[in-house]
Amino acid sequence: MDNAILKRLREWFKKNAAELPWRLADLDAPRDAYAVWISETMLQQTQVSTVRDYFVRWMKRFPDIKALAAATEEEVFKYWQGLGYYSRARNILKTAKIICQTEMYGSRRQRLQDDLVARMPQTRKELEALPGIGAYTAGAILSLAYHQREAILDGNLVRIFSRLYALDFLPTDKIKRDGKSASEIYWNYAREIADSPKAYMHNEALMELGRTVCKIKNPDCEKCPLQGACKAFAEKCTANFPPAKKHIQKDWHGTVLVIESADHKILAVHGGQKFFKNQFTLPHFESPRHATAGLPAQAEAYIDADLVTSVQHVGNFKHNITVHKMDCDVLHICLKTKAPQHSAPELRWVKRSEASDFFANSFCLKSLALL
């Protein structure tokens, strides 16, 4: 891409950059690496409009890596609740602990008012070695925070490159063109954009362009600063690029158990579940539709059937997790005894009044809302 087009891209961005809580007013100023890491991780699979409030709330509670590293997984999940893909939150916490504890980052700590401030690594190799930080996030941190000539490649850039160069394949496709893989071709275009002292601005401008102008549907080509270089626009076929991604959707029907003790505590389980295996959740299992009569055998893994006073089907809800399109029945199971004072480590009894704060995913909250 020639310098004249890149200049138009920069000028467009300076006029049209949206005000975002993770974006500085001075677009040329280096950004905080921690803020870049958190915002870009939140933005994976999630719209900007949704992430805004989550980011502000997160940064108030965890203003730096050290504050985050000191948190529990349960608290981190609470502040992530509603963003989905909870492995992202778990990896964020793991990485914060590694940065604060591992000796390899000790040289990057600076003493400030008798305290230690943990710093993000400044090389791609070190960043990509951390949990949850892949090629895109590493590039964003190095580019936006440290102003290095590092490339990024997210869904917005994939769409723009596909239209600019009329690429009828996606980076994930198993194809070869001129001896290069699909991924290599896209990343080479990204590196070309980043081979500039203004790489940070080119990268962020393209993300903004993809979000607001070069959209998936109905792109506003007349406002695009790259219009003159776009092959898809010249051939009047932007709707054909990028090619549609094949989604494999899996229908899943299940039953969710809300087991409540006589002293109004809800049973939470950790592990052994189809979804949310590594966090506390309500017991759930795959089941035929409308198979809700009586106490299901799966409930007896957690409670004694002789202690049950009632089993009520309280409703049904729909939910999506990755490729799973879910249809869930909810059973409210009441016990005649109080919650035990001591339970196995994988079980926890939570006060019903505190359950909405305890369960850190909308799957559980939809179930509880039916009570």
User: According to the 3-state scheme, what is the secondary structure of the chain?
Assistant: CCHHHHHHHHHHHHHHCCCCCCCCCCCCCCCCHHHHHHHHHHCCCCCHHHHHHHHHHHHHHCCCHHHHHCCCHHHHHHHHCCCCCCHHHHHHHHHHHHHHHCHHHHHHCEEECCEEECCCCCCHHHHHCCCCCCHHHHHHHHHHHCCCCCCCCCHHHHHHHHHHCCCCCCCCCCCEECCEEHHHHHHHHHHHHHCCCCHHHHHHHHHHHHHHCCCCCCCCHHHCCCHHHCHHHHCCCHHHCCCCCCCCCEEEEEEEEEEECCCCEEEEEECCCCCCCCCEECCEEECCCCCCCCCCHHHHHCCCHHHEEEEEEEEEEEEEECCEEEEEEEEEEEECCCCCCCCCCCEEEEEHHHHHHHCCCHHHHHHHCCC
Phi, psi of 138 (to 5 degrees): -60, -45
121 and 204 housed in the same domain: yes
% the chain with pLDDT above 70:
94
In which band, very low, low, confident or very high, does the pLDDT at 247 lie, cut at 50, 70 and 90? low
In which band, very low, low, confident or very high, does the pLDDT at 213 lie, cut at 50, 70 and 90? very high
The string of pLDDT tens digits covering residues 17-67 is 999 999 999 999 999 999 999 999 999 988 999 999 999 999 999 999 999
In which band, very low, low, confident or very high, does the pLDDT at 108 lie, cut at 50, 70 and 90? very low
Residue scoring higher pLDDT (277 or 299):
299
pLDDT above 70 for 341: yes
pLDDT above 70 for 292: no
204 and 76 housed in the same domain: yes
79 and 168 housed in the same domain: yes
Mean pLDDT of 257-283: 91
Annotation says 40 is catalytic: yes
In which band, very low, low, confident or very high, does the pLDDT at 361 lie, cut at 50, 70 and 90? confident
Query: Considering 40, 204, 208, 260, which one is annotated as catalytic?
Result: 40
Q: Does the residue 360 lie in any domain?
A: yes
Residue scoring higher pLDDT (67 or 361):
67
194 and 271 housed in the same domain: no
Query: Domain residues for 341?
Result: 250-368
70 and 214 housed in the same domain: yes
Q: Which among 214, 240, 266 is the end of a domain?
A: 240
CATH of the domain at 339: 3.90.79.10
Q: Which among 240, 275, 300 is the end of a domain?
A: 240
47 and 111 housed in the same domain: yes
Mean pLDDT of 88-98: 95
pLDDT at 113: 35
pLDDT at 273: 86
19 and 63 housed in the same domain: yes
132 and 272 housed in the same domain: no
275 and 358 housed in the same domain: yes
271 and 355 housed in the same domain: yes
Residue scoring higher pLDDT (245 or 87):
87
pLDDT at 215: 96
pLDDT above 80 for 115: no
76 and 183 housed in the same domain: yes
9 and 69 housed in the same domain: yes
What is the pLDDT of the chain when averaged over all its residues? 91
Q: Which among 177, 212, 240 is the end of a domain?
A: 240
Mean pLDDT of 244-267: 89
In which band, very low, low, confident or very high, does the pLDDT at 111 lie, cut at 50, 70 and 90? very low
In which band, very low, low, confident or very high, does the pLDDT at 107 lie, cut at 50, 70 and 90? very low
In which band, very low, low, confident or very high, does the pLDDT at 112 lie, cut at 50, 70 and 90? very low
Q: Does the residue 245 lie in any domain?
A: no
Rounded to the nearest 5 degrees, what angle is found at the Cα of 89, between the Cα atoms of 88 and 90?
A: 90
Number of domains in the chain: 2
